[in-house]
Amino acid sequence: MPLAAPMPQLDVAAELLELLSATTTEPRPDDRLAALTLTVAADLPVLLWGEPGIGKTAALTQLADTLGLPLTTVIASVHEPSDFAGLPVLGDDPAVQGVPMAPPDWAVRLVRSGRGLLFLDELSTAPPAVQAALLRLVLERRIGTLRLPPGVRIVAAANPRSSAADGWELSPPLANRFVHLPWEHDHEVVVRGLGGTWPRAVLPELDPARLPEAVALARRAVCELLAARPALVHRLPGNDAQRGGAWPSPRSWEMTVRLIAFATAAGASREVLALLVRGTVGDGPGLELMAAMDRMDLPDPEALLADPAAAVLPERGDLRQATLEGVVDAVRRRPDRARWDAAWALLARAVESGAPDVAVVPATALAALRQADWEVPATIDRLAGAVALSRRADRAVARVAAAGGARR
């Protein structure tokens, strides 16, 4: 029998490459991936920031595969502004019909498909003129006379200017149109992925029964914060680097309302919601909003004063202290002996069921509300020792810090 001809080496190489590219996915908790899929579901442009080689492009390729969306990659820095604004095409009589702006071929393919993931890669290498041309694409989803269909989602990736090839800071108008997400590598994810198994990106499951509640919560949270902090409605950062990131404006607050509603309807974790909020309006305003939302979930001080024995206090120390301060403030607004005694009972429960330091400030404020004819309640004895111990510990820490400073 004649021997079979040996397989050409390029065919062998192709077979090996196919084996190397064969990977699987698995469900795995990942806050950044969850934030990304929530933003995609909410149909908001999202920008991934990370160092070169961190896996931004690979993550978006895997996202498109998992969601079954055709991926269209456009590297903005190799295009001219006219590629996004539209190329002028002369007709029979420009004086009568005007000069139409023809869209590029990739935009036409997206419209014909009706759905897809438009990936604007290396965004921080695009010069200012190209960034200006991208404004209408990112916000209005228009390229020339063509409008992208609702089934197309826009995702971008960028390196910090310090590590981008001939990088530029993003212009404030363009930056304010994106949800900014930091993209970092996870050691375990990389190891599993190189072994052939990557995390699975799935769209969030929205609970239809929670949609009205989610919208109401999102609007209430943002509106209450901005009513109390009007300076946060629009605050352009002072330096170029911060202007190229997330900062508060009416546009970004509107995006925040949408993201809170989607996160609430999906039952997303607080960590995912914090990533989304901070990536839309910036770290400072985002943290203020998260703190305000935490306070929205605090128990009603009047309900606690009405039945201290049945009171359920928050587990987190900061929320517990905020609850106790709310109780003291309620007594201050309407002081009487029974409410004052009930507040002391709540403070005693807080000390017995958690760290005593959360009661120090509220106890001091509550003691100052005592009127001359009010007897000191017996419950004070239950927390006096714990409060005194907490104060001694604070003074000891201060002495140690002062001694260390003196030695230096």
- pLDDT tens, 367-397? 888 888 888 777 776 666 555 544 544 454 4
pLDDT of 397 reads 44
Select from 3.30.540.10, 3.30.1330.30, 3.40.50.300, 3.40.50.720 the CATH code of 28-88+101-199.
3.40.50.300
- What pLDDT does 390 receive? 46
Which pLDDT belongs to residue 120? 92
- CA dist list (Å): 404 to 333, 390, 392, 397: 44, 21, 18, 11
* Per-residue confidence (pLDDT) for residue 207, from 0 to 100: 94
Taking 50 as the pLDDT cut, the residues of the chain under it are: 389-390, 392-394, 396-397, 400
- 84-120 pLDDT, tens digit per residue, is 877 777 666 666 566 667 788 888 889 999 999 999 9
The pLDDT value recorded for residue 389 is: 45
Please report the pLDDT score of residue 312 as a whole number: 85
**pLDDT (tens digit, 9 = 90+) per residue, 138-151?**
988 888 778 899 89
